Amino acid sequence: MLQNLTAAAVKKIALACGFDLAGIAGASPAEDYGRYHAWVQAGAAGEMRYLTDRRGELRQDPANLLPGVKSILCVGKLYNSPYPYSTALSDAERGWISRYAWGEDYHDTLREGLSRVAKELERAAGESFEHRICVDTAPILERSYARLAGLGWIGKNTCLINQQKGSWFFLGELLLNLELQPDSPPPDRCGKCRRCIDACPTTAIVPSSNGDWTIDSRLCISYFTIEKRGAIPAEHHSSMGKNVFGCDICQDVCPWNGRAPRTEAAAFQPREFAPPLDRLAAMTEDEFRSVFRTTPVWRAKYAGFLRNIAIAMGNSREPKFLLALGKLARDSRPEVSEPARLAIRKLQDGAVADAGLPTMRA
């Protein structure tokens, strides 16, 4: 019988299936949809159509995803590993790939884990029931429900933060047509801290309409390097530093990640940690596919990735990259060649300045 499944039993099954966090939220319409809507209306979603088109409206109510949904099982899966934070990496010849993207694509791993949970729940209940698995791309305000399910609070850097586990975890949800006792949200423990706001190199963490903090994607390095297609406005290149896919700075500096636990999951063990920029720039499209096809980096696409590498090379102050940049500057795609030309100019100006000579420009 379905109703024999208690909230405690459901969470126990989720943890036994390999998740590190599990909690239950009621499936009522999203209470902070208004805030999300205002964020989109203000243009802060940039060009991310999946947030601004009809799929955005679906986020208002999880019943749009599963009619009759009563409860949401929210789960978290750690992905932290024992490698340094980006704020501790001073090697200018290396590019930074966001921590979450070092292993397998999490969408498949979380989906498989949640399918296992659903099967175990059906086995425990002795009958099948309607459910829907959501991982990241499904139109649901997942951090809001994860907060209601007690998994953490939403920090000023807009990440979900768990008091014991920090913020290096993926989120997933299992929508259930099963009435379960919901958990309670934890208190917001950011307090007066504003380390993430002060550390953000592009001042992308901005006050929101309701007095909280939010991220203006149009200023965020993660958005530029992953979601933005075409050119990245030149005025942002310098502040992008060494980031070639995503940006971890506002999580690296968060005190709740100071001693964040690490994952044992094989899928999230690093394949690429801060790879040398010249090796990345030399990758053919086939090599890019074979290295990154099954990782989140694939989302940037080959041309976008080369664009990001050109910008990082320009920020490196390393004249040794001039040769690789010369090749990128001859690329037929302007999104690659233009930042490469700007980077060459930057390295040349830097070399002249380092030699104490006046900069000449035609």
Query: 62 vs 246, which CB is nearer to ligand SF4?
Result: 246
Among 79, 145, 245, 256, binds ligand SF4 (CB under 6 A): 256
Q: Is 156 in the site for ligand SF4 (CB under 6 A)?
A: yes
> For the window 163-192, what string marks contact with ligand SF4 as x by the rule CB under 6 A?
---------------------------x--
From 60-68, 131-139, 154-162, 264-272, give the range in contact with ligand SF4 by CB under 6 A: 154-162
From the CB of 85, what's the least distance to ligand SF4, in Å?
Answer: 12
- Concatenating the DSSP letter of every residue in 218-244 gives GG-HHIIIII--SPPPGGGTGGGTTEE
Strands 243-245 and 96-97: what pairing? parallel
Among 155, 172, 182, 296, binds ligand SF4 (CB under 6 A): 155
From the CB of 226, what's the least distance to ligand SF4, in Å?
Answer: 10
d(CA 98, CA 40): 25
320-344 burial: b if 16+ Cβ within 10 Å, else e:
ebeebbeebbebeeebbbbbbbbbb
CA 195, 41, 231, 106 dihedral sign is: positive
Alpha helices by DSSP H, listed for the chain, are 7-16, 33-41, 49-52, 54-58, 106-125, 142-148, 195-199, 221-222, 249-252, 277-281, 285-292, 302-316, 322-329, 334-354
Q: Is 232 in the site for ligand SF4 (CB under 6 A)?
A: no
> For the window 191-230, what string marks contact with ligand SF4 as x by the rule CB under 6 A?
--xxxx---x-x-xx---------x----xxx--------
Q: Which residue has the tokens 């968060």?
A: 254
Asked if 9 contacts 124 with a C-beta cutoff of 8 angstroms, the reply is yes
Number of residues near ligand SF4 (by CB under 6 A): 23
d(CA 340, CA 281): 11
Catalytic residue among 105, 136, 188, 212: 136
Q: Is 254 in the site for ligand SF4 (CB under 6 A)?
A: yes
Q: Is 44 in the site for ligand SF4 (CB under 6 A)?
A: no
Residue 335 gets which letter from DSSP? Answer: H
**Angle subtended at Cα 294 by Cα 115 and Cα 167, rounded to the nearest 5 degrees:** 65
From the CB of 227, what's the least distance to ligand SF4, in Å?
Answer: 11
Sheet (strand 21-26) strand order? 21-26, 71-78, 169-176, 131-134
Among 255, 261, 270, 350, binds ligand SF4 (CB under 6 A): 255
Q: Is 249 in the site for ligand SF4 (CB under 6 A)?
A: yes
From the CB of 38, what's the least distance to ligand SF4, in Å?
Answer: 18
Query: 72 vs 253, which CB is nearer to ligand SF4?
Result: 253
From the CB of 23, what's the least distance to ligand SF4, in Å?
Answer: 20
Q: Is 152 in the site for ligand SF4 (CB under 6 A)?
A: no
- Alpha-carbon distance values, 9 to 173, 183, 239, 306, 317 (Å): 16, 13, 48, 48, 56
Catalytic residue check, 198: no
Catalytically annotated residues = 136
The residues that touch ligand SF4, with contacts defined as CB under 6 A, are 155-157, 190, 193-196, 200, 202, 204-205, 215, 220-222, 247, 249-250, 253-256
